[in-house]
Amino acid sequence: MKEKSSISELSYNPYSKRDEYCYVEGKSGVVYPGVRVENISFPLSISAVQAAVCSCLANGDQPKAIYQTGNRSELLEYWISEFDLELIEEIPELTQIYNPLYPFPEHPEKELEKLCKQAVTIHSDFPVSALLYTEKGCIHGVNVEVGAWSLGLCAERVALSRAIAAGIRQFSHIHVAAPKSEFCSPCGACRQVLNELMPKSIIYLHHNKNSLTKHFVEHLLPNGFTSGALKNR
């Protein structure tokens, strides 16, 4: 299969076929790509702007402008007003594009602990970190909370949406840590999204007192929602 390389073709959109992509420029000058990532449970879909802004914030950066052509992201106006973004309706030559691929860490638990410091938890003060392993490298995720509670993203979904925007769809495993909880357990929405994008992969959950459990992603969502009627409409 021909590899898709242009961001305009990278959306995961099996239900609508609607491409949606953008770049959010941070105050650091780094530019963060975002694409639409749908879910069979439609309300769990991630818009391009949500993915890009959360990727920017999860990198300790602050969004300042958005480059967007083609289909407009859902709730674009919310993100523009929340972060006072300059809207630029063309995509210029971009040089400093965020590369989500990091080397595989020698000690995932230490990396998860370090990564948690980047979580943006303005409401919960509850940091979560995720390391998503792909054949091309390791993708980082932390939870990001924004003014509207329901529009932030969990750590797992920040990592997955960064991967999709980088054209990566194959995942071997993911590590997740939530140091303030006794037992680390992904939320229902993340189980749903993980199960759609990497059902056969492994998830490692890092609990308190250095304990670790290993699961197949699909085992975390028994009898998950499915319907052949929804695909390729």
- Footprint of ligand THU on this chain (CB under 6 A)? 121, 124, 126, 128, 143, 145, 152, 154-156, 186-187, 190
Q: Give the helix ranges, DSSP H, for 10-154.
A: 48-58, 76-83, 108-115
Which residues have CB under 8 Å from 149's CB, separation 6+?
A: 123
- How far is it, in rounded angstroms, from Cα 69 to Cα 43? 23
Which residues have CB under 8 Å from 195's CB, separation 6+?
A: 217, 218, 220, 221, 224
Q: How far is the CB of 142 from ligand THU (least distance, A)?
A: 8
Nearer Cβ to ligand THU, position 108 or 152? Answer: 152
Nearer Cβ to ligand THU, position 40 or 154? Answer: 154
Of the candidates 166, 134, 188, the residue with the CA atom closest to the CA atom of residue 4? 166
Q: Is 66 in contact with 49 (CB distance < 8 Å)? A: yes
Please say if 3 is a catalytic residue: no
Q: How far is the CB of 95 from ligand THU (least distance, A)?
A: 31
- Count of residues making up the chain: 233
Nearer Cβ to ligand THU, position 20 or 156? Answer: 156
Nearer Cβ to ligand THU, position 31 or 128? Answer: 128
Q: How far is the CB of 166 from ligand THU (least distance, A)?
A: 20
Of 156, 182, 196, 218, which one is the catalytic site residue? 156
Q: How far is the CB of 5 from ligand THU (least distance, A)?
A: 30
Active site residues: 156
